[in-house]
Structure 1
Amino acid sequence: MSTPEAGTPTGGGVDDTVRDLLLLMPRLVGRAKKIPVPQALRSFALAPRHLSLFSYLLFDGPMTVNELAARLRVAPTTVSLLIGDLSRQGILERREDEADRRRRIVAIAPEHEAGIADWLAPGAAAWRSALAPLEPEQRRMFVDTLLAYEAAVAGTEPRD
């Protein structure tokens, strides 16, 4: 009995699909981690862990520490420390919220927006290419499936 080559889809059973995904996921993660940091950002101590924070700020615009913490699903103190470090490096800016001076609004510094967009572009382009042929319901199911997988690995409830 021959074993299918890694990456070659097998039958349609759940176990076949699990096998396919167990072989695929490490390659996906490995390739995503290898997306190079753009030249304009290489002097900073940035890592793939910063991409989620940058994604929210780039796609959704400036927001508060608490909003970022809720979206990233981490404690506000964790986000605050991360933002403090990135602000000291000049990558992020913090300013007072005009509506409530107790709150701070976080944004990508204008001089680093293009570099961050360049860093996110290969992943965004790959997702657009993979998701474009799907119907909206299929895209939602794909994302929901990944969220359910994440929750199952973490031993938690799926998040919305």
Structure 2
Amino acid sequence: MSTDGLALPDAVRALLLLLPRVIGRAKRTPPPPELAGFALAPRHLSLFHYLLLDGPMPVNELAKRLEVAPATVSLMVGELSRQGILDRREDEADRRRTIVSITPGRRKAVENWCGAAAGAWRVALEPLTPDQRRLFVETLGTFERELNREE
């Protein structure tokens, strides 16, 4: 990879070419056969990624990380629990809290669906310093906010 920088117009051109390919690739990644009969959508991927990477967690924590209302996560978790993909259980330390996890019987299928993206991000981000990773994540966040602002 070149160590030369990119002028702003060249970087914009490169990203306008690259992002549709990345998004198209993500959309073409269907759930594995074990999950094909379920009503799964890309919105479920983030929830699955958090549970795979960080383990079981309370609904409110998932909502905070996904940046949505707890009621939204509760609806998703309820739907996925009825389908046998997620487990819900009371927190032994605080019975008011619900802990969410991926069912053992579906964990491998969820890992297969989510694993390629997580692995690709690890390869892409590993050579960067922590500050460069933060800048990259913040840049994508700014891009998303600007797209949403235009709507």
Q: Map 1:1-160 onto structure 2 (within 5 A).
A: 12-155=6-149
Q: What RMSD in Å do the two structures reach over aligned CA positions?
A: 1.7
Aligned residue pairs, count:
146
* Identical amino acids, percent of aligned pairs: 61
Distance 1:134 1:72 in 2: 24
Larger mean Cα displacement after TM superposition, 43-52 or 130-139:
130-139
8 Å CA contact 1:94, 1:107 repeated in 2: yes
- Structure having the higher helix fraction is 2
Quote the offset at 1:114 in angstroms.
0.8
Distance 2:67 2:126 in 1: 27
Larger mean Cα displacement after TM superposition, 137-146 or 47-56:
137-146
TM-score by length of 2: 0.89
Quote the offset at 1:107 in angstroms.
0.7
The Cα offsets for residues 51-88 of structure 1, whole Å up to 9 and x where unpaired, read as: 00000111111111111111101111111111110000
TM-score by length of 1: 0.84
8 Å CA contact 1:131, 1:139 repeated in 2: yes
Larger mean Cα displacement after TM superposition, 136-145 or 74-83:
136-145
Larger mean Cα displacement after TM superposition, 50-59 or 39-48:
39-48
Choose 1 or 2 for highest CA Rg.
1
Paired letter, 2:126: A
For structure 1, the 5+ residue unaligned runs are 1-10, 156-160
Larger RCO of the pair (alpha carbons < 8 Å, separation 6+): 2
